[in-house]
Amino acid sequence: MPQRYFGIYLQSSLLSLLLLITPYFAVAKITPKPTSSHYSQGHFALSYDTEIHYNHNEAKAVAQQFADFLRPPTGYQLPVTQANNTVKNSVFFKLVEQPVSAEGYQLIVEKEFIEVKASTAQGLFWAMQSLRQLLPAAIESRMPINRQSWLIPQVKIDDEPRFSYRGMHLDVSRHFFDVAFIKRYIDWLAMHKLNVFQWHLTDDQGWRIAIDAYPKLTTIGATRPHTVVGHTYDYKPLFDNQAVAGFYTKAQVKEVLEYAKARHIEVIPEIDIPGHSTAILAAYPELSCHQQPVNVQAQFGIFEDVLCPREDVFEFLAVVYQEVAELFPSQYIHIGGDEVIKKQWLASAEVKKLMQQHNLKTPEQVQSYFIKRVAKIVQALDKKVIGWDEILEGGVADDALIMSWRGTEGGIQAAKMGHQVIMSPYQYIYFDAYQSRNLDEPKAIHGLTGLQDVYQYDPQPNDLNAEQQAYIIGAQGALWTEYIKTPRHAEYMLFPRLSALAETLWSSKDNKSWPDYSQNRLPKLFKRYQQMHINTANSAYKPTISSTIDDTGLHAAVTTEIADIPIYYTLDGTEPTLASIRYNKPILITKETQLRAKSYAAAIGQLVGDARLTLSPHLALTKKITLSHPAAESSAAKLQDGQFAYDQFYSSDDYAIFYDTDLEAIIDLAEPTLVTQVKLGYNSGRHRQLHPPVKIQVLGSNDQHTWQSLAEDTNPQGPVSALSFTKVKVRYLKVIAINSKQSDDPQIPKLPLYIDEIAVN
C-alpha cells in the first residue's frame, strides 16, 4: 500500500475506532444524573437535513425550542412539523399516555432517529435538557461552530425527579439585577431541571417592584444613596458615594413571567414582612410604630425598623399583596417573616394594648398574630403562604408552607406538625457563602459551603419517619447579594454549586455518587459552562490547609474536595509553581512558617487556588491554658492550635470570642521555661476587619502570686502583636487584652474581641 494511502487508511481506522468507543466515554455524563441510562455502541448524527417532529400541539413548543437552540452553533434551519410516526433522521417529541410521572420522560437515541417521550410538555422539556447534554459542549455556543460533528451517543434513558419542588432564590434588593440577567438566571435553572424561581423583591436595602397604589415604594424605597464599603461589620465602616437604584415595572415582571412559563419554571414572589421593611418605611414612615422618618438602609444585617401590627398596616399590605397576586400566576406568595427585632413593638403603647386585647403574652405571639393576619390576606387571594421558619414561633398560620433556613430544625418541627416544608438550610445550600478558604476567593458574607457540602446534603432528615418525610416537598438554594454586585460575581457563586443542588433535588438518593459527579461529570460541565461564557468557580479543585498536634509536633495537611488532585506547596511564603514540592504526606512544621499551596486542575488545565496558613510550633502548644471568663473556656483550644487566622477569610470557628469581657489567659508551661516573646493574633480575617483590643499586657510568674510585667502594647493595630522582652525563665504567663469598652454606637456597650492564637516563643 502506498504510504499516502496507508496514512489515509490509518486516519479512517482511528476515526472509526473513536466513533465506536465514543458512547462509552459518554456514559452517565448528564447532570443531574438520570434514574437509569443504558448506552450502546453507535450514535445519531445530527445534520442539516435532520427533521424535528411532534405529535401534539402541547409538544410543539418544546420541539420548536430545540430547533431554536440548535440553530446558532450549527447553522441548521431544521424544519419543525407535526407527524404521526417516527421516521429516519428525525427527532420526535411525543406526548404519550403511558404511566410516567408529570415531570418524567423517556429518551431513546438510535442510530437513525431520536424519540423523546413524556406524558406532559414539562417532561418533554426536561428530556430536551438531557438531549442537550448528550451533544458536544460546543452546542452551547451562541456563535457558529465550523467543522464540528454533532454526534449523540446511542442510549435509552428513563428519568424522573425525586422532589416536586426544586428551587433557587435570587435577592435583587441588596443589589439590583436587570431583566436580561433574570432571564439568563431562569435559563440556568431550566438547564439544570430546577422548576421554581423565588424572586426576593423587597428588603431593607431596596423595594424592587412597582405597586400602582403606592408609588413612593419605588420613587423613594427603590433607591439608597450609598453602600457600605467592605464588610458591614468592619471596624469603623466606610461608605461609597454610589447610589443603588432600580425596580421592575409590571410590564417587565410580565415579560419575565412569560419567559419562565415557556421554560416550565414557577416564579414565586417574596414580599418580606414585618421585618426587613426599612425600604417600605422610608417611603411610608406612618406604617411603623414610632412613625418617624427612616432611610433606605446602606448597610446589611438585621434592623429594628419593622411594620406595626395596626389595622392601617394590614390594609396597606392587603392592597400590595392583591397587586402582586394579580401579577404572578404562582400558587404561592412568600411573605418572609424572618429576623424580626421586636424592640419597637415592646416600646409601643399600641402594641401593648393589642397584646391585652388578644391575650398575647410574648413578642413572639405578636409576630404570630401579624403573620396570621397576613396569611389570611394571601389565602383570600387564592394563594398559599410560604414563610421562613421564624413564622413557627408563637404559633403558625394554618396551611402555611415552612422554608427552613436556620438549619434543619425548623423543617423537622414543621413536618412533625403536618406542614409542608421546603428545606433551605444556610449551612448547605446558601450560595452567598465562601466556596474555599483560598485568598483568591471574592468577598462573601461569611461561612464556608463547598461543592461537596451542597452535593452531599439530603433534604429529608433521618430523624423523621416515612410519613413525616413526605411533608418535605423539596429544597431551595439561595443567592443573597449583599456582597454580590455584578452578574459575573453572581455566576461565580452559582456555578458549579447549582449543578450539585440540581442533582441533590432531581436524582434518587441511591443513584448519587460524589466520585462519579466530581471526577467524571464535573469536568464535562466545566467545558459546557466555558462555551456558555459563565464565570465558573474552580474552588472544588483548590487546596485546603489544616493542622494537627501530636507528640511529635505540629503537622500540616493539604487536601482538595475532589480526590487525586496534584498539589504543590512552598514553605517560605513564595507562590507555588509546577516546579515546587509536590505534596504527598503531612508536613512537620519546626518553625513559624507560612505554608502556601496550589493544585493542578486537569479539567481546567492550570494551577488554581492560593491557600495560605501561618503555622507556629510555639512553646505553649498542648500546655494548660485557663481563661478568667468561664463562658470562653470552650474555645480556649483555639488559642493554642498553632494557627494564625489572618491568612484566611473570616470564620468565627477560628477564634475564642469575648463579647462582654476582656481576655485574661494564664498559660502553664509545666516548668520554668526561657521565653522572649508572646505573639497575639487578633483583628484578623480576610474581607472582615475585626475590632482590635485597646491594650495588650504580658506578665510572668513562677508561683501565680507574684507577677512581673514583661511587655505591653498600648496601641495594637493587628492582625498580630509581637511583644518581645528580655529573656526570662518563668512557668506561668498571663496575657491580657483589653476589650473596647465603647463602640461608635452608644447603644453597643462593648465590641466583640476575637483572639485566634497566643504564641509563646
Q: What residue spans of 241-342 are helical by DSSP H?
A: 250-262, 278-283, 311-327
Closest CA to 359 of 392, 395, 311: 395
In sequence order, the β-bridge partners of residue 271 are none
DSSP for 368-423 reads HHHHHHHHHHHHHTT-EEEEEGGGGTT-PPTT-EEEE-SSSHHHHHHHHTT--EEE
CB proximity list for 353: less than 8 A, separation 6 or greater: none
Q: Distance (Å, rounded) from C-alpha 81 to C-alpha 55?
A: 9
Closest CA to 571 of 601, 538, 596, 607: 596
How many angstroms separate the Cα of 317 from the Cα of each of 310, 311, 364? 11, 10, 20
User: Which residue out of 276, 334, 555, 687 is catalytically annotated?
Assistant: 276
**Active-site residue, 744 included:** no
The answer to whether 654 and 645 are in contact (CB under 8 A) is yes
Q: What angle do CA 722, 723, 725 make, to 5 degrees?
A: 135
Instruction: Match 448506552 to its residue by C-alpha cell.
Output: 39
Q: Which three cell numbers stand for residue 206?
A: 431596596
The answer to whether 110 and 118 are in contact (CB under 8 A) is no
Q: Which three cell numbers stand for residue 131?
A: 438531549
**Active-site residue, 489 included:** no
Phi, psi of 328 (to 5 degrees): -100, 125
**Active-site residue, 204 included:** no
Q: What residue spans of 304-381 are helical by DSSP H?
A: 311-327, 343-346, 349-357, 363-380
Phi, psi of 227 (to 5 degrees): -140, 150
Closest CA to 128 of 30, 25, 257: 30
What is the signed CA dihedral for 428, 429, 433, 436, rounded to 10 degrees? 60
Q: What angle do CA 374, 375, 376 make, to 5 degrees?
A: 90
Q: What order of strands is seen across the sheet that includes strand 105-109? A: 36-46, 150-159, 105-109, 113-118, 90-95, 51-54, 80-82
How many angstroms separate the Cα of 318 from the Cα of each of 280, 377, 379, 552? 14, 6, 11, 68
3-state SS, residue 688: coil
Closest CA to 194 of 336, 32, 28, 68: 32
How many angstroms separate the Cα of 320 from the Cα of each of 247, 255, 367? 15, 20, 19
Q: Within a 13 Å sphere around the CA of 678, how many CA atoms are in the beta-carbon half?
A: 29
| Amino acid (one-letter) located at 631 | A
The answer to whether 716 and 702 are in contact (CB under 8 A) is no
Q: Distance (Å, rounded) from C-alpha 508 to C-alpha 162?
A: 6
User: Which residue out of 58, 110, 187, 339 is catalytically annotated?
Assistant: 339
Burial (CB < 10 A; 0-12, 13-18, 19+), residue 45, is middle
Instruction: Match 509546577 to its residue by C-alpha cell.
Output: 578
Q: Distance (Å, rounded) from C-alpha 543 to C-alpha 547?
A: 13
How many angstroms separate the Cα of 705 from the Cα of each of 42, 233, 625, 695, 708? 85, 40, 17, 22, 10
3-state SS, residue 251: helix
Q: Distance (Å, rounded) from C-alpha 389 to C-alpha 403?
A: 6
User: Which residue out of 203, 204, 503, 713 is catalytically annotated?
Assistant: 203
For the annotated catalytic residues, the residue numbers are: 203, 276, 339
